[in-house]
């Protein structure tokens, strides 16, 4: 949610009241990439579009292991003049990214050449569709989705109230923010494994010499944590789904959904307070943090031999 708010702010820094300034927004986008500790190897080309702003051929890397190539980015922002005038308005942001390639960056130029060719068909698409009703203080992410190769995808939708100009300017705290809706869906048939297993490996490396034994121990610890989750927040069906997910690890295949039912909304300042607790994930702390909300989890596993 704060990333969506940041995206509004980044575009607003470049956009005049009359219309979108695609050249200025392009520069701000590149600055945002560079400020994320990424190295731009090709800044891409702006091309005419009837959909707002369009950039093609952006390339960057993390400077160590990975390269990223973005075939095309289309974005349209409306209502940004309200950030200059202070007048209530409905701001909208629509970003669509197509034909993104993600591939390793080995030191051997021959291996790099081979991987570049092999990854031609591993294309990733994504979209962010967000709205901010300033008068109502309502920000909605109607769609944040990433479509990976094959039947692999991630999608998120959420709604938060209490976001106003004061909060964006840093003149107000988080005590007005309430989470009204949260829906997450992840489908994995193997491709997503490649995105996080290297990170998981690095975290596990210092815990022992036998990877399988370390993974089994972490799974056992996770099962124990799930079993003591507060019933009022995590119903039995949700805990059962989480246990099945853990049992299918460390790289589960299948479909996972997580939905948070909040009623009148969850105050987000509780999450700040819980972060100061000795154990933010203790059952009694979670019960207070999530009071009034219910986490509904489903997991449908998939046979990897299929």
Per-residue pLDDT of the chain (306 residues), as tens digits, is 444 444 444 444 334 333 467 888 778 778 888 887 788 888 888 888 877 888 899 988 887 777 888 999 998 888 777 666 667 678 888 999 999 988 777 788 888 888 778 777 788 999 999 998 888 889 999 999 999 988 899 999 999 998 876 666 555 567 788 999 999 999 999 888 877 887 788 888 888 889 999 999 999 999 999 999 999 999 999 999 999 999 998 889 999 999 998 888 898 888 888 887 788 888 888 999 898 899 999 999 987 655
**Quick one: 242 and 123 in the same domain?**
no
Which residues are CB-contacts of 87 (< 8 A; sequence separation ≥ 6)?
Answer: none
Structural domain includes residue 185: no
One-character DSSP codes across 174-223: STT-EEEEEEEEEEESSTTHHHHHHHHHHHHGGG-S-HHHHHHHHHHHHH
Retrieve residue 3's tokens.
Answer: 């990333």
**Quick one: 238 and 107 in the same domain?**
no
**Quick one: 48 and 112 in the same domain?**
yes
CB 91 within 8 A of CB 131: yes
**Quick one: 14 and 141 in the same domain?**
yes
Structural domain includes residue 177: no
Give the integer Cα–Cα distance in Å for 154 and 128.
12
Retrieve residue 33's tokens.
Answer: 């990439």
Nearest CA-CA partner of 106 in 65, 138, 137: 65
Partner residues linked to 147 by β-bridges: 125, 153
Task: Report pTM.
Answer: 0.80
Long-range contacts of 22-30 (CB under 8 A, 24+ apart): 22/46, 22/52, 22/53, 22/54, 25/53, 25/75, 25/77, 26/53, 26/55, 29/55, 29/73
CB-based burial, 207-242: b 16+ in 10 Å, e otherwise:
eeeeeeebbeebeeebeeebeebbeebbeeebbebb
Exposed / middle / buried, residue 58 (Cβ in 10 Å: 0-12, 13-18, 19+): buried
Beta strand pairing status for 66-78 and 90-104?
antiparallel
> What letter would DSSP give residue 105?
-
Beta strand pairing status for 178-188 and 124-133?
unpaired
> Of 148, 163, 182, which residue sits at a domain end?
148
* Number of domains into which the chain is organized: 2
Long-range contacts of 10-14 (CB under 8 A, 24+ apart): 11/75, 11/77, 11/80, 11/93, 12/77, 12/80, 12/83, 12/84
What is the extent of the structural domain holding 219?
193-301
Structural domain includes residue 56: yes
Nearest CA-CA partner of 77 in 5, 16, 20, 24: 20
Partner residues linked to 181 by β-bridges: 159, 261
Q: At 18, give phi and psi (nearest 5°).
A: -75, -40
CB 298 within 8 A of CB 190: no
Nearest CA-CA partner of 185 in 234, 160, 151: 151
Q: At 219, give phi and psi (nearest 5°).
A: -65, -40
Structural domain includes residue 133: yes
**Quick one: 14 and 123 in the same domain?**
yes
Structural domain includes residue 239: yes
**Quick one: 131 and 232 in the same domain?**
no
């Amino acid at each position: 949610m704060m990333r969506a708010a940041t995206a509004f702010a980044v575009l607003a820094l470049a956009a005049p009241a009359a219309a979108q300034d695609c050249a200025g927004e392009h520069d701000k986008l590149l600055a945002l990439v560079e400020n994320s500790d990424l190295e731009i190897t090709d800044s891409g080309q702006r091309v005419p579009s009837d959909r707002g702003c369009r950039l093609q051929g952006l390339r960057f890397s993390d400077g160590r292991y990975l390269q990223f190539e973005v075939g095309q980015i289309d974005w349209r922002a409306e209502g940004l003049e309200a950030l200059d005038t202070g007048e209530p308005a409905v701001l909208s942001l629509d970003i669509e990214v197509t034909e993104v390639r993600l591939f390793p960056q080995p030191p051997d130029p021959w291996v790099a050449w081979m991987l570049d060719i092999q990854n031609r068909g591993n294309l990733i698409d994504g979209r962010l569709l967000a709205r901010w009703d300033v008068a109502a203080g309502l920000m909605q992410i109607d769609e944040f989705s990433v479509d990976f190769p094959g039947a692999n995808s991630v999608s998120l939708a959420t709604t938060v109230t209490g976001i106003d100009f004061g909060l964006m300017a840093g003149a107000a705290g988080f005590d007005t923010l309430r989470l009204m809706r949260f829906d997450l869906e992840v489908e994995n048939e193997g491709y997503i494994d490649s995105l996080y297993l290297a990170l998981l490996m690095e975290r596990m490396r210092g815990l022992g010499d036998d990877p399988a034994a370390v993974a089994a121990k972490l799974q056992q610890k996770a099962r124990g944590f799930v079993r003591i989750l507060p019933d009022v927040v995590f119903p039995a069906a949700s805990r059962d789904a989480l246990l099945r997910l853990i049992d299918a690890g460390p790289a589960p295949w299948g479909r996972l959904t997580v939905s948070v039912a909040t009623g009148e909304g969850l105050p987000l300042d509780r999450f700040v307070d819980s972060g100061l607790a000795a154990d933010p994930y203790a059952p009694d702390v979670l019960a207070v943090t999530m009071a009034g909300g219910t986490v509904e989890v489903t997991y449908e596993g998939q046979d990897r031999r299929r």
